[in-house]
RNA sequence: GUGGCUAUGGUGUAGCGGUAGCACACGAGCUUGUGGAGCUCUUUGUCUGGGUUCAACUCCCAGUAGUCACCCCA
């Protein structure tokens, strides 16, 4: 480095992460488990660029979000460009663009990286990866059931038991119905109350009641009964009889029942569940860790039947959810469910004397052709140190090549975890390390 | 974007207005073809920039980053 040059910082950019091999292994494990489950349900992978025209988000989210919460800049051709902050507009754009050529229903998933320009905190970074799953083209409530059961299967695949998480369910139709028809609030007031309900868990009961009363007015008692109902049955019976057969109620009832039929019983109706986006039209849900130390939602999603309208297309019914990698990893760490790491390299070849190097390279090449990952040690260090290196790097098998192996063509294949050593001919090595 | 707290070897942590310790990790050795333990030795540090002071890692200010809350929530 020449004098006068400032040393470059080795820190990653604010709010983003480097993935060293050990972290990459965790990331890969999470992604692989996500993929395995959703592909079992027949979902197909798609992807798209991180760059989108800024108006894609303006159309739905408004100026404020674009200017303050996203990475948006002007390119050399004077185009406004945004680093995608979420995947749903992108997938809606893709579906709308090729709508006539696609055969519905579409079961699609992607694991995009998403960007937001915000103050970073634990679990909320400026770049994160998110599993996005969507099913387009089916109105039936069975779609909600499928998508929610898929979220549950993902957590089970990671080794969580049903007592460690719960599905919270609500329906935008119920929310709107309560705000507009039951409480008869103005647009402005129902918006204010929706925001208040969203924040209920973060404030004291007194504080919440006081603020709610100020908005709701005369019907505060009814509101309190509704908002404090501990389960779906109580909630329904708090409603005036003619209102109990409302569409949203019936839908939610059906979703809960059908999930139960599939053996998913850790489902709870939660009238305070709102979710931020405006585009939801029916069922909304989140999956929560039941551990009180980690009260963030792991999955969130819902039905959005109208979104394609922004592209001038006729509506397509759709249900989807997202799951972030950061929260997922925190959750698995909390329950100690991250698997012990192992190298992708299967066999490490220690070289005892330099004259055996060529022979060892030939052996490695033969094994690679047989599909085995092999690494060689050219350090010239003592055998013990070479083995120690393999052990530290979690390579499961080691063999040492020296004069006697060159002469005999027999190899001792050592499994480091158990210490067991097997003697093998070259042709038998694959069988041993693949066991 | 606003406010609070924090910043010491690679990691985790002590400490003091006057020569920065410890543990683990890393490297070398005890051990000439078999690792994980133990022992010995070595390398590595006060986030950046200003200010106060005879003297700053320590006190003050700013920046940067992390973290928490607000905001917002994909």
* pLDDT tens column, A118-137: 888 877 889 999 999 999 99
CA distance A57 to A81: 10
pLDDT for residue A188 is more than 60: yes
Chain position carrying tokens 């959703």: A38
Instruction: Kindly indicate the confidence band of residue A293, based on its pLDDT and cuts at 50, 70 and 90.
Output: low
Is any atom of nucleic acid chain B found less than 7 Å from the CB of residue A381? yes
pLDDT at A295 (0 to 100): 66
Q: How far is CA A113 from CA A22, A93, A150, A287, A328, in A?
A: 19, 17, 21, 21, 14
Chain position carrying tokens 């320009």: A117
Q: State the burial class of residue A386 (Cβ atoms within 10 Å of its Cβ: 0-12, 13-18, 19+).
A: buried
Q: Using only C-alpha atoms, what is the Rg of chain A?
A: 28
Closest CA to A359 of A394, A326, A404: A404
> Helix or strand or coil: residue A25?
helix
pLDDT at A1 (0 to 100): 34
pLDDT at A128 (0 to 100): 92
Give the residues across from A43 on adjacent strands: none
Q: How many CB atoms lie within 10 A of CB A129?
A: 19
Q: How far is CA A63 from CA A70, A189, A240, in A?
A: 10, 22, 40
pLDDT at A5 (0 to 100): 45
Is any atom of nucleic acid chain B found less than 7 Å from the CB of residue A89? no
Q: What is the pLDDT of residues A260-291, one digit of tens each?
A: 999 999 999 998 888 877 788 999 999 988 87
Please answer whether residues A269 and A170 qualify as being in contact, where contact means their C-beta atoms are separated by less than 8 angstroms: yes
In A 112-131, which Cβ lie closer than 7 Å to strand B? 114, 116, 118-124, 130
Q: What pTM value is reported for the model?
A: 0.88
Instruction: Kindly indicate the confidence band of residue A294, based on its pLDDT and cuts at 50, 70 and 90.
Output: low
Q: What is the pLDDT of residues A39-89, one digit of tens each?
A: 999 999 999 999 999 888 876 655 556 667 889 888 999 998 999 999 998
Report chain B positions within 7 A of protein CB atoms. Answer: 1-3, 26, 28-29, 31-36, 64-74
Chain position carrying tokens 């069988």: A431
Please answer whether residues A31 and A77 qualify as being in contact, where contact means their C-beta atoms are separated by less than 8 angstroms: no
Dihedral, A90, A93, A99, A103 alpha carbons, nearest 10: 10
Closest CA to A147 of A167, A165, A164: A167
Q: What is the pLDDT of residues A355-398, one digit of tens each?
A: 899 999 999 999 999 999 999 998 888 888 899 888 888 889 99
- CA(A169)–C1'(B52) in Å? 61
- Nucleotide at minimal C1' distance from the A403 CA: B33
> What is the predicted ipTM?
0.82
3-state helix, strand, coil in chain A (%, to 5): 45, 20, 35
Mention every residue, 6+ apart, whose C-beta is less than 8 A from residue A156: A162
Is any atom of nucleic acid chain B found less than 7 Å from the CB of residue A387? yes
- Render A156-170 in DSSP notation, one character per residue: HHTT--GGGEEEEEE
- A36-42 long-range contacts, CB within 8 A, separation 24+: A36/A157, A37/A150, A37/A153, A37/A154, A37/A157, A38/A109, A38/A131, A38/A133, A38/A150, A38/A154, A40/A153, A41/A107, A41/A146, A41/A150, A41/A153, A42/A107
- CA(A242)–C1'(B65) in Å? 58
- CA(A12)–C1'(B17) in Å? 35
Please answer whether residues A318 and A134 qualify as being in contact, where contact means their C-beta atoms are separated by less than 8 angstroms: yes
Q: Can you read off the two tokens belonging to residue A1?
A: 């480095």
Please answer whether residues A319 and A303 qualify as being in contact, where contact means their C-beta atoms are separated by less than 8 angstroms: yes
Q: Can you read off the two tokens belonging to residue A421?
A: 């050593």
Closest CA to A360 of A380, A388, A343: A380
Is any atom of nucleic acid chain B found less than 7 Å from the CB of residue A392? yes
Q: Can you read off the two tokens belonging to residue A79?
A: 């185009």
Q: Can you read off the two tokens belonging to residue A304?
A: 């959005």
Q: What percent of chain A has pLDDT over 70?
A: 95
């Amino acid at each position: 480095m020449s004098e006068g040059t400032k040393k470059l910082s080795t820190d990653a950019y604010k709010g983003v992460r480097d993935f060293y091999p050990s972290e990459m292994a965790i990331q890969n494990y999470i992604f692989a488990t996500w993929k395995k489950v959703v592909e079992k349900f027949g979902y197909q992978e798609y992807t798209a660029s991180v760059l989108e025209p800024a108006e894609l988000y303006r159309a739905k989210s408004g100026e404020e979000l674009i200017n303050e919460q996203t990475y948006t800049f002007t390119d050399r051709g004077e185009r406004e460009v945004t680093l995608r902050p979420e995947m749903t507009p992108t997938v809606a754009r893709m579906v709308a663009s090729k709508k006539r050529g696609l055969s519905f229903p579409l079961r699609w998933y992607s694991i995009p990286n998403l960007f937001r320009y915000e103050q970073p905190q634990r679990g909320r970074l400026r770049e994160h990866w998110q599993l996005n799953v969507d099913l387009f083209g089916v109105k039936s409530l069975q779609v909600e059931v499928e998508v929610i059961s898929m979220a549950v299967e993902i957590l089970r695949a990671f080794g969580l038991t049903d007592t460690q998480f719960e599905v919270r369910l609500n329906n935008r139709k119920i929310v709107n119905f309560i705000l507009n028809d039951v409480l008869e609030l103005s647009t402005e007031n129902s918006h204010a109350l929706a925001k208040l309900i969203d924040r209920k868990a973060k404030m004291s009961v007194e504080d919440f009641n006081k603020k709610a009363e100020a908005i709701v007015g005369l019907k505060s008692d009814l509101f309190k009964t509704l908002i404090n109902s501990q389960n779906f049955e109580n909630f329904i019976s708090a409603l005036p009889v003619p209102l109990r057969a409302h569409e949203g109620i019936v839908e939610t009832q059906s979703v809960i029942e059908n999930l139960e039929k599939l053996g998913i019983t850790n489902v709870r109706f939660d009238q305070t569940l709102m979710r931020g986006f405006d585009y939801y039209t029916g069922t909304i849900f989140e999956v929560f860790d039941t551990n009180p130390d980690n009260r963030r939602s792991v999955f969130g999603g819902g039905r959005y039947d109208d979104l394609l309208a922004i592209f001038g297309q006729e509506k397509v019914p759709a249900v989807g959810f997202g799951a972030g990698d950061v929260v997922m990893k925190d959750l698995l760490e909390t329950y100690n469910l991250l698997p012990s790491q192992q190298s992708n390299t299967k066999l490490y070849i220690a070289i005892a004397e330099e004259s055996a190097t060529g022979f060892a390279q030939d052996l490695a090449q033969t094994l690679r052709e047989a599909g085995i990952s092999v690494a060689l040690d050219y350090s010239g260090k003592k055998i013990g140190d070479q083995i120690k290196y393999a052990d530290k790097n979690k390579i499961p098998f080691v063999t040492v090549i020296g004069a006697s192996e060159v002469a005999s063509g027999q190899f001792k294949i050592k499994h480091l975890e158990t210490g067991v050593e097997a003697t093998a001919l070259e042709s038998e090595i694959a069988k041993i390390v693949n066991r």
